[in-house]
Amino acid sequence: NAGVTQTPKFQVLKTGQSMTLQCAQDMNHEYMSWYRQDPGMGLRLIHYSVGAGITDQGEVPNGYNVSRSTTEDFPLRLLSAAPSQTSVYFCASSYSTGRYNEQFFGPGTRLTVL
């Protein structure tokens, strides 16, 4: 199993550009989520999904869109990048909702917005 994979590993954008961060898992997990990690702030939940076709907002959803058309994939879209979105982004998955279930994290995408 590859586990949770994320592409790209690094990305530099200019303000106003759009892009999609890819996330895929091969563990048949129902629950997937996106976090951003900023220095001194831990990980903050952006969006999550409890299954194909179902998504919901987390703590910091503004400026990001998600969709879940398959169990395996959960892409994160930045509609119009801003310098405040410079961060490291992690995708995670678990068998069911986070409660009592181990979350498996991807290796992360480091995004810089100029």
Partner 1 sequence: GENVEQHPSTLSVQEGDSAVIKCTYSDSASNYFPWYKQELGKGPQLIIDIRSNVGEKKDQRIAVTLNKTAKHFSLHITETQPEDSAVYFCAVYGQNFVFGPGTRLSALP
CB-CB contact of 91 with 76 (8 Å): yes
Can you give the three-state secondary structure of 47-93, one letter per residue?
A: EEEEECCEEEECCCCCCEEECCCCCCECCEEECCCCHHHCEEEEEEE
Q: Decide: is 59 part of the binding site for partner 1 (CB under 8 A).
A: yes
Binding test (CB under 8 A) with partner 1, winner from 15, 16, 20, 41 = 41
Question: Restricting to residues 79-98, which ones interact with partner 1 according to CB under 8 A?
Answer: 90, 92, 98
Q: Decide: is 47 part of the binding site for partner 1 (CB under 8 A).
A: no
Q: Decide: is 45 part of the binding site for partner 1 (CB under 8 A).
A: yes
Question: 14 or 100: whose CB is closer to partner 1?
Answer: 100
In a 10 Å sphere around its CB, with 0-12 CB exposed, 13-18 middle and 19+ buried, how is residue 17 labelled?
middle
Q: Tell me, rounded to whole angstroms, the distance of Cα 18 from its chain centroid.
A: 15
Q: Candidates 14-22, 42-50, 61-69, 73-81 — which segment interacts with partner 1 by CB under 8 A?
A: 42-50
| Contact residues for partner 1, defined by CB under 8 A | 4, 33, 35, 40-45, 48, 58-59, 90, 92, 98-100, 102-103, 105-108
